[in-house]
Each structure stands twice: as C-alpha cells, then as structure tokens.
Structure 1
Amino acid sequence: MDPLTFADPQDNDLTLREAQNQVHRWIQTVGVRYFNELTNLAILTEEVGELARILARRYGEQSEKPSDAGRDLGDEMADVLWVLLALANQTGVDLTSALEANVAKKTHRDQDRHKNNPKLQP
C-alpha cells in the first residue's frame, strides 16, 4: 500500500490501529520526524480550541463569524484526531486497546448512573 494512501479503496472501514500506522508512515515520509510530545500537546490544544470555537458559534449562543462559516467540522475533528494519533504513536499507546478498556471501564462504572439520573429523564 502506498504510504500516503489511507486505506484500500474497496474498504472504507479504517481501524484506529490502521489510522495510527498511516499517521506514522506519513510522518516518516512527508513530515520527516515527529515533533516532540510537548509540541504535539500544544498543537492538540490548538486544534481542540479551533474545533471548540466552531462548535460554540455554530451550535452555541454566539453568532458565527463569516470567516468560520465555511469551515468543515469534519476536517477540524480530523485535525484533532491526527495529532492524538501522533501522540499515541510516540508514547506507545495502542488506541484500539485503550479505547476498548475505556469503554469497559465506563460501562462497569456507569451501568446504572445515567439511567438513574433524574436530570436526564424526559
């Protein structure tokens, strides 16, 4: 597979593990090397801020600025995911395993909590 191609064109289902591998190949091929972890944390914070600004203005009470009106929400989310995948790679985190464990933890911990929350009842 071409290191700059995300997935088999016949298969549109990209796994987290494949995404981590793709980001790693891209960084080695195009990006030369990883930025250090603290730099990537700062970049992640910046990208989350951009996403938050668009969400707050598009779905919140602030009016949307003309400069943000054409921003693609999916692209902004992908920017956040990209940097998170890079950070996972450079810190040795397998996001597939981490997400599976996290869902299991939340399921066990919150099994009845939300069902029994009167604030969430219709």
Structure 2
Amino acid sequence: MADNKTLKDIQGEVHEYISQFKEGYFSPLSMLARMTEEVGELSREVNHRFGEKPKKATEEENSIELELGDILFITACFANSLGIDLTEAHDKVMHKFRTRDANRWTKRDTES
C-alpha cells in the first residue's frame, strides 16, 4: 500500500489480514479487553519515557510508536467487526469538537 494511507485503506488492510483466518474478528468484549491491554502497554511506555519509573534492565525494548500502532490495529478490528467507518466516526467527532468546544480554548494568534 502507499505511504499516504487513509483510514479506509487501513481498515481494508486489517480486514484483508483478519479474513485469512477462520477465527475472524474477536467478539466486541474481547476486543475491548485487548484494547485496554494495549492502552496499558502504551501507558507503561509513556511512563518509562516521561515519568518517574525507569525501565528495568530485564524489560523488553518497546516504543510509544509501536504501542500506538497496536492501538490503531485493534481500533480498526473493532470498527470493522461492527461495520463502523472510522473516517465517518472521525468526521462526527471533529464536528462535535468544533461546535461544542469552539470557544473552550485560547486560540493561537494566526498573524505571527
């Protein structure tokens, strides 16, 4: 696939990958548990890099980038299994933030 993948491309690539297995997608509850695990792993990596808890010498080398990738993968699995278009979901969320939070934060000066 191209370097500039869309969410639709990502969802399609994940679906193609999962479709090769008889088991298919996990149940929504199992995927939520998996997502929770991945967010926990991301939290651990962020804490190691920016927090007060350094990694033990025996711990595997990992990265925030890979943990975010795992979260993106499970998010695409979750959405695919429920027939949700992540681009549409993103557009709806951005509309919500642009309207609900339009004046919530101090905007940057655009003339700088």
TM class, shorter-length: 0.7 to 0.9
Task: Check if 1:49 corresponds to 2:63.
Answer: no
Q: Alignment identity in percent?
A: 35
Displacement over 6 Å in runs of 4+: none
Q: CA 1:34–1:17 in structure 2 vs 1: closer, same or farther (change >3 Å)?
A: same
Aligned to 2:51: 60
Alignment partner for residue 64 of structure 2, among 59, 68, 73?
73
Aligned to 1:113: 104
Indicate if the aligned counterparts of 2:45 and 2:63 stay in contact, CA closer than 8 A: no
Alignment partner for residue 39 of structure 1, among 30, 38, 48?
30
Please give the per-residue CA displacement for 1:77-101, whole angstroms capped at 9, x wherever unaligned. 1111101100000111110011011
Structure number with greater CO (CA < 8 Å, separation at least 6) is 2
Aligned to 1:4: none
Task: Check if 1:85 corresponds to 2:76.
Answer: yes
Unaligned 5+ runs, structure 2:
108-112
Query: Normalising to structure 2: TM-score of the pair?
Result: 0.86
Query: Normalising to structure 1: TM-score of the pair?
Result: 0.79
* Cα distance in 1 for residues equivalent to 2:56 and 2:6: 35
Unaligned 5+ runs, structure 1:
1-6, 117-122
Kindly report which structure 2 residues correspond to 1:4-43, keeping only aligned pairs within 5 A, or say none: 7=1, 11-30=2-21, 32-43=23-34
Q: Number of aligned pairs?
A: 106
Instruction: Name the amino acid aligned to 1:99.
Output: H
Q: CA 1:32–1:25 in structure 2 vs 1: closer, same or farther (change >3 Å)?
A: farther
| Structure 1 residue 65 displacement after superposition | 2.7
* Cα distance in 2 for residues equivalent to 1:23 and 1:114: 36
